[in-house]
Chains A and B, each alone.
Chain A
Amino acid sequence: MTGWIFAAITCFLYILQTTILCKLTVFGIMPDAVLVCVLCYSIIFGREKGFVAAFFVGLIMDFLTGAFFGRHIIIYVLSSALASFLADNTFGKNFVTAAIITLIVSLAGGIAMSVFLYIAKIDRNILGSLIITTPIYSLYNMVAGVFIFIVIENLKKFAYGRE
């Protein structure tokens, strides 16, 4: 699947996330469709392509969200590395793998973010973040991961033909 198609999917998911998914919340939590897309891409296409995709998607997200520059790059690259490692060495490449890896990475990311926000005194309710926000975020990402994995896999078959 060419980079252009992946870029188009990522842009579409970003727009979807900021306009529609932000209204389909569970206890105020929405899935991180862009992160899930990066994870699924890393699982399907491997480590090297996953790194490149994660870097560029992170760069675009830093520009779009105006966050601390480099934050999304670091998060996405690390997540991509973890996802491709787990896919290659542990679970294989299927939608169940995508669901499990998305769950694990989202849990790790959620816990890290909750701790960071608490230490930086941005959000003082760390218990609420760890007990409510992070699990819901992870489960929601896991569900999104199944669908996005199937879409990307089918697009890969369409682009490269059945293997």
Chain B
Amino acid sequence: MINELLKKKFFTVLIIVVIIVGIIAGVGKLLPESKRANIFSDAVGIVISPFQGSFSWAVGNIKDSAQYFIDNKKTSQENKRLKDKITVLENKLEKVDAYREENLRLKEILELSKQNAQHNPVCAEVIGREAENWSGIIKLNKGSLSGIEKNDIVVETAGLVGYVSEVGTNWCAVTTVVSPDSGISCIVPRTAEIVMLQGGLVEKSSNGFTLSYIPENSTITQGEAIETSGEGGIYPKGLLVGRVENIHIGADGVSKEADGKAAVDFKKLREVLVLKY
């Protein structure tokens, strides 16, 4: 029976393996204890360790990359959330700025209204400009219902705007001081010289006007204030119209003329005060 078993290859190999393992275990037991692994373990370890290291490195990198994408996605989402919040806050800030500016403007108009209480002031908003290039008319949102009449004076905190040239029920048209068809008798307060102020097509675009009939020996200088003289029947005396910008000889070659700039910026005009004089 044993001969038959020995003839079978499988059992032969199995017996050989058992014998080898036994020898190795026995040798290992017999060898004195050492701080290092035994020679057989060391041999296997030398072969396996590099592969283990490479796999661990690869797995670590894959894990780090995955973590990077996960973190990146979270960061991106938070970034978007914060950007949206910043946009909302910026919009609110813009509104706050606009309200603050409007508050300042209305405070100034209120102060001006109190100073002119004796002239029955009516506060109005500019709702439209001229419909054509050859006039300097603005339209307000108040009319006869608010007590506005023709030839009422329109002012702003910076200075004179113009006069009411047409009145409707709930609107009125104002001919501005820079209108091409305006001709205002003005005075230079310092020298008490009377000059004529006139708007123009080209000058209107830059809030400008022309001063003419300046006396030859006038000492008017750049930056000088120009006020209404009270002559002419429409504008009362003493309203600031603008300032002189440059002085030159007129077309006739004798008298002086000057270019000026209106005190009011008509391009940014919003609220005005209509007064009765």
Listed in ascending order, the chain A residues whose CB lies under 8 Å from chain B are: 14-15, 17-19, 22-23, 25, 27-30, 32, 34, 61, 64-67, 113-114, 117, 122-125, 128-129, 132-133, 137
The contact string, 1 if C-beta is below 8 Å from chain A, for chain B 166-189, is 100000010000001100000000
CB neighbours (8 Å) of A19 from chain B are 127-129
Chain-A contact segment, one of B23-31, B73-81, B132-140, B224-232: B132-140
A65 to B175 Cα, complex, angstroms: 11
Q: Return B143 CB to nearest CB of chain A, in Å.
A: 13
Contact B166 A66 (CB under 8 A): yes
The verdict on B201 contacting chain A, using a C-beta distance below 8 Å, is yes
Chain B residues with a Cβ closer than 8 Å to the other chain, count: 27
A23 to B135 Cα, complex, angstroms: 15
Q: Return B31 CB to nearest CB of chain A, in Å.
A: 99
Given contacts A123-B200, A128-B202, contact A65 B133 (CB under 8 A): no
The verdict on B52 contacting chain A, using a C-beta distance below 8 Å, is no
5 inter-chain pairs at a CB distance below 8 angstroms, sorted by A residue, are A18-B130, A65-B135, A66-B166, A125-B201, A129-B202
Among A18, A34, A66, A122, which residue has its beta carbon within 8 angstroms of that of B128?
A18
Contact B133 A64 (CB under 8 A): no
CB neighbours (8 Å) of B113 from chain A are none
Given contacts A18-B131, A19-B128, A64-B131, contact A122 B137 (CB under 8 A): no
The contact string, 1 if C-beta is below 8 Å from chain A, for chain B 138-149, is 010000000000
Given contacts A14-B131, A18-B139, A61-B131, contact A28 B166 (CB under 8 A): no
Q: Return A67 CB to nearest CB of chain B, in Å.
A: 7
Which A-chain residue is minimally distant from B165 (CB atoms)?
A: A66
